[in-house]
A and B are shown apart, each in its own frame.
Chain A
Amino acid sequence: MVLLSAPRWLRSRLTDRFWRVQEVLKYARHFRGRKNRCYSLAIRSVRRAFVKSTKARREKKRFLRALWITRIEAASLEHGLKYPSFISNLLKSQVELNRKMIADLAIYEPKTFKSLAALAQRRRQEGFLAALGDGKEPEGIFSRIVHHC
């Protein structure tokens, strides 16, 4: 005869509780205090640690970019240029190095950085001259300035 329902003395019990707990505790072994040993305390700290690492992966990009900008600013001030004019003039001269690269060059290749700063300075001066124009008045305008000649 076939037994269709299981008898009451047959229970399904958890047999691998030890390994499930170890899976969590292995991430907590380097923590301080009881949260590296006791499961209830550890599971909370491990969850927070995972969430913090997830968020930090997004903020690391922002943080590193700010660091590069600081370094480029320091290096360009050594050559007499400010960061905004340095970057804008480099872009106007069609040099498309990103900030990570320029920061690395400023650290490890000082001569190259100096030449980039000189390029930016020259482009800046050319921009000023182009903005000032010829110095001639527009035609057909009666000027109030007296010319001594």
Chain B
Amino acid sequence: SAFARCREEGLRSLLYPVSSIGLIPREVTWLLLVAKTSLTSPPWPEVKLPDPVEEAKYHAEVVQKVNKMIAMGQYGRLFAVVHFASKQWKITSEDLIMMDNVLEAECGDRIRMEKVLLVGADDFTLIGRPLLGKDLVRVEATVIEKTESWPKINMRFRRRHNYQKKKIIVNPQTVLRINTIEIFPCLS
């Protein structure tokens, strides 16, 4: 081939590979004795993904290690990102949470929060896409208090038009204490 001929003739230094620009076939095209111009390679940096087989091996290894760590209990304090009351909260154990609405549970009831988006410890994090499985994480909380917010004043006023309205808004609030966050070694 052309490459072999050039190598014999000792012209290897003048050859360089040109990767595909979309319309040229995938195999590397060797251009002989042509200067490198601004259009020989595409202006974006070439992106190479790692080998899928090796990557799969690496992933399996990491999953196994994390599973072992969880099974042995080699983590300290866990934090979780939970979707609750249409908001996302970053919580740990012994945390207090206040929601601006009513929860249909009495004071002292134990609640399990099911929509967990992320769980992490010091050495590893489990990111859910978008949620983590219920058999993987367990977040428990207790309802502590059900009160009302401080009276917020809603006022509208238009000057010179004798228009003003005043309304006092009091929202019901619920306070929860996060008891525990537990993870189980069932990664695959």
In whole angstroms, how far apart are the Cα atoms of A101 and B91 in the complex?
11
Residues in B whose Cβ lies below 8 Å from that of A98 = 88
Chain A interface helix/strand/loop/mixed = helix
- Answer whether residue B22 sits at the interface, using C-beta atoms and an 8 A cutoff: yes
Q: Are B81 and A149 in contact (CB under 8 A)?
A: no
Partner of A148, one of B20, B31, B118: B31
The residue that A143 contacts in the complex, of B23, B29, B152, with Cβ under 8 A, is B23
Q: Which one, B30, B122, B130, contacts A94 given CB within 8 A?
A: B130
Q: How far is the CA of A96 from the CA of B27 in the complex (A)?
A: 40
Chain A residues near B129: list those with CB within 8 A.
93-95
- Pair A136/B25 contact, Cβ less than 8 Å: yes
Chain A residues within an 8 Å CB radius of B27 = 149
Question: Which B residues lie within 8 Å of A115 (CB)?
Answer: 125, 127
Interface: A145 (CB within 8 A)? yes
Instruction: Across the interface, name the chain A residue whose C-beta is closest to B127.
Output: A95
Contacting residues, chain A, for B128 (C-beta < 8 A): 95
A111 on the B face (CB < 8 A): yes
Tell me if A100 counts as interface (CB < 8 A to partner B). yes
**B153 contacts chain A at the CB level, 8 A cutoff:** yes
* Contacting residues, chain A, for B20 (C-beta < 8 A): 135
* A contact residues, range: 35 or more
Known A-B contacts A47-B155, A109-B79, A135-B20; A128 and B130 likewise in contact (beta carbons under 8 Å): no
Q: Using Cβ atoms and an 8 Å threshold, which residues of chain A touch B22?
A: 132-133, 135
Contact B156 A129 (CB under 8 A): no
A105 is an interface residue with CB less than 8 A from chain B: yes
Question: For the complex, is B90 an interface residue (Cβ under 8 Å from A)?
Answer: yes
Contact (Cβ within 8 A) B47 A125? yes
Closest 4 pairs (CB-CB, A-B)? A50-B155, A135-B20, A96-B130, A94-B129
A residues at B contact (CB < 8 Å): 47-48, 50-51, 53-54, 57, 93-98, 100-101, 104-105, 108-109, 111-112, 115-116, 119, 125-126, 128-129, 132-137, 143, 145, 147-149
